[in-house]
A and B are shown apart, each in its own frame.
Chain A
Amino acid sequence: MPQMNMIQALNSAMDVMLERDPSVIVMGEDVGYFGGVFRVTEGLQRKYGEHRVLDTPIAEGGIVGAALGRGVNGLRPVAEFQFSDYIYPAFDQIVSELARLRYRSAGAFWSPVTVRTPCGGGIRGGQTHSQSPEGIFTHVCGIKVVMPSNPYDAKGLLIASIEDDDPVIFFEPKRLYNGPFDGTPDKAAVAWKGDPRAEVPEGHYAVPIGKAQIVRSGAALTIVTYGTMVHVCEAAVRDTRLDAEIIDVRSMIPLDVDTLCSSVSRTGRCLIVHEATGFSGFGAELSATIQERCFWDLEAPIERVTGWDTPYPSAFEWDYFPGPARVAAALRRLMSPP
């Protein structure tokens, strides 16, 4: 089986879909001739032409509005935002239009747009190249929100997103593009090569939206996480030697409540970890949902480890980032509550 890093896997997903389905088009800033600032669309314009892999003006609201219109007129657009920090100029087109078109027209109009966008920190990007705004979009009704944590899921989930008739915001944790990152910046970077999750079939396959994945089975407690933090949590579990179950949420909307709750009901303890700021973050929704279903099985309060409630500061990146030490401390607290 071929080995791919996350960039190659995402590229392969679009390649497969452009090949199979002439209605699929790719668009965004610098995605065409150049192949994207993270090289995710490299080679696609050469292969499929300037009419299906389009460079766009730097106008995110225009990109989403025009993607929506193309979708209504029979195409299946995959739009890239260069950084998820630059999604906000498109906020109204996403929230008021893309998310609600099917609803407000009672199904007469809809648009199967996929918005791809790199998110998260760890690349010394400062406050405008590091954000994780997924929680903002999970608060909007009518768009699906997904975030893969490895190359296999990245390709399968992106294919599922493109094939989905509802709009999907597809977050790509950019710190994972080239390798699994466990949150220790001083260690030599690890590549995806050799990792079983980097074994990616060449052809078409889908990872269903709406299904979480148990990435490590355990009995002592449940960690619910996604994106880069999956790897950070694995490191923290190694460090603490706790028999934790780690669940990669993968899909925030729809949410695989059954997988999360049956695990927490079994272990009786739950830690929720994400990189985004905590206050009103997606972890709050996870915590509430799990508490509602699992209250009588809980042996300790549900804890959250998240980014601090500040913008992502450039010089204090590793103080901001919820690294393995912060996760490990929470794990220990959970196992022996005061």
Chain B
Amino acid sequence: MSTLIDGPQPPSAVGSAGARASRLHIPAVPARPGHRSDFGYLSLSAAGALPRPAIDARAADIGELAAGLVRVLDDDHRPVGPWHLPLEPSVLKTGLRHMLLTRAFDRRMQRTHRQGRISFYIQSTGEEAVSVAQAMALRPGDMLFPSYRNQGLFVARGVPLVDLMCQLLSNRGDMCKGRQLPVMYHSGPARIFSISGNLATQYPQAVGWAMAGAIKGEDHIAAAWIGEGSSAEADFHHGLLFASVYRAPVILNVVNNQWAISTFQGFAGGEQQSFAARGPGFGIPGIRVDGNDFLAVHAVTQWAAQRARANHGPTLLELVTYRAEAHSTSDDPSRYRPRDDYQHWPLGDPIERLKQHLILAGHWTESAHQALSAQLEAQVDSSWAEALAQGTPEQGCSLDRGLMFEDVFKDMPEHLRRQRDALAAERG
């Protein structure tokens, strides 16, 4: 064996790493358990401070949008600035409803996991505005390529909760026929692509879908979401490159919730510059937006959608938010960040902010909010009962095990047919 201390050296080894202090830069992490939260690293712009350019703007001319932060709601929940495109109160209330339903669904499924009735779950708490506002700013024909933390897309597109719950239960109603880990949903009719366990793969795929739309002369666009941690994968860069080369009608979203399991966003490159700033390097406009500001998220998504539909090409959006809960039911964030970190998050909670905005504008009241919350919780409960009617975990797997061999190919080849029969014989 060769080491730097003794024995033969690798031929190109120089010096001794052990002899001198390392000069390598290691990204800083603002606060670990036992420390005070510190969000001083976040660059924030005042609400309303950034311009809203024309949809055919060149990436190089709007670099400030990639470095700053587009915000519409100010600290008093008043909408300000050029990105405030007034939306009908009914639209805002629908958005609030979708966000509340997403959160109620998450809470309930988390509890269900604790009771041992589903094997795994991922919450999107604190990030509801990302999926809901973006889905609402797009058209039903647009194709969505989500990550595993975009359940709000399914809610906003009206996919019944029962369908999602049956997937979590792997029962007779499971759209994935028992093949996928819980939360790896899809919906053909709602145009939401199948979620992969392998990070970032959906990015170039969304670009390809959008390219096909352009080739066919359609005006549907595509949108994809990944976490800032996943933006480290090569597929992120493949997506940007293809989108740039062919000016594909696609919206590429990076959801920067600050954490990738235990890894702080600095380790994905966020310390040097924003994630939105990756766009201009490819000639793609990058816009960094307050991801907890429903109005701002809606406005930038609409801008990017208009740009794509008018054939001016792709946009990279960075949605700045915070992962309020654990990464998943397998994770314990108190091991790597301050327990109360989220309480100090400067951009607040997306539901609370939209609620306060609506109250301030005279379209909403505290009691209406309570009543809606109660109604949505009841909806979650009744959906859960409906889902259980298609097979409970206590009854064991309610799906035919032969399904395991289907859909590997369109037609089952001989060797799989033999294996299916062998399994059936084994199980009697």
Contact = CB atoms under 8 A, between A and B. Distances in A.
Nearest to B12: A72
Contacts of A60: 233
A243 interface: no
A311 interface: yes
Given A33-B32, A33-B336, A316-B404, A126 B14 contact: no
Interface string A197-237: 00000000000000000000000000000000000000000
Contact of B196 (A128, A309, A326): A128
B374 interface: no
Contacts of B184: 126
A89 B233 contact: yes
A43 interface: no
B87 interface: no
Majority SS of interface residues in chain B? loop
B137 interface: no
Contacts of B24: 51
B350 to A, nearest CB: 25
Majority SS of interface residues in chain A? loop
B197 A23 contact: no
Nearest to A323: B426
A79 to B, nearest CB: 15
Interface stretch (B78-86, B256-264, B275-283, B355-363): B256-264
A129 B261 contact: no
A295 interface: no
A315 B397 CA distance: 7
Contact of A313 (B29, B178, B233, B415): B178
Nearest to B424: A319
B46 to A, nearest CB: 32
B336 A34 contact: yes
B18 A22 contact: yes
A109 B170 CA distance: 50
Given A54-B26, A126-B179, A316-B401, A22 B4 contact: yes
B3 A23 contact: yes
Interface residues of A, number: 58
A175 interface: no
B156 interface: no
A87 B304 CA distance: 34
A75 interface: yes
B58 interface: no
A315 B179 contact: yes
A74 B17 contact: yes
Interface in B1-55: 1-5, 9-18, 22, 24, 26, 29, 32
22 contacts: A22-B3, A23-B4, A29-B260, A30-B263, A33-B262, A54-B26, A56-B267, A58-B260, A59-B234, A74-B17, A75-B17, A88-B198, A89-B235, A108-B11, A124-B119, A127-B197, A308-B423, A309-B415, A314-B176, A314-B179, A315-B178, A316-B404
Closest 6 CB pairs of A and B: A128-B197, A74-B13, A315-B178, A22-B18, A126-B181, A34-B262
Given A55-B262, A75-B4, A316-B401, 20 more contacts: A20-B3, A23-B18, A37-B330, A37-B331, A55-B263, A58-B199, A59-B233, A60-B233, A62-B232, A73-B10, A73-B14, A127-B197, A128-B181, A163-B1, A165-B1, A308-B404, A314-B176, A316-B178, A316-B397, A319-B427
Interface of A: 20-23, 29-30, 33-34, 37, 50-51, 54-62, 71-76, 85-86, 88-89, 108-112, 124-129, 163-165, 279, 308-311, 313-316, 319-320, 325-326, 329
Interface of B: 1-5, 9-18, 22, 24, 26, 29, 32, 119-120, 170, 174, 176, 178-182, 184, 196-199, 229-230, 232-235, 260-263, 267-269, 330-331, 335-336, 397, 399, 401, 403-405, 408, 415-416, 419, 423, 426-427
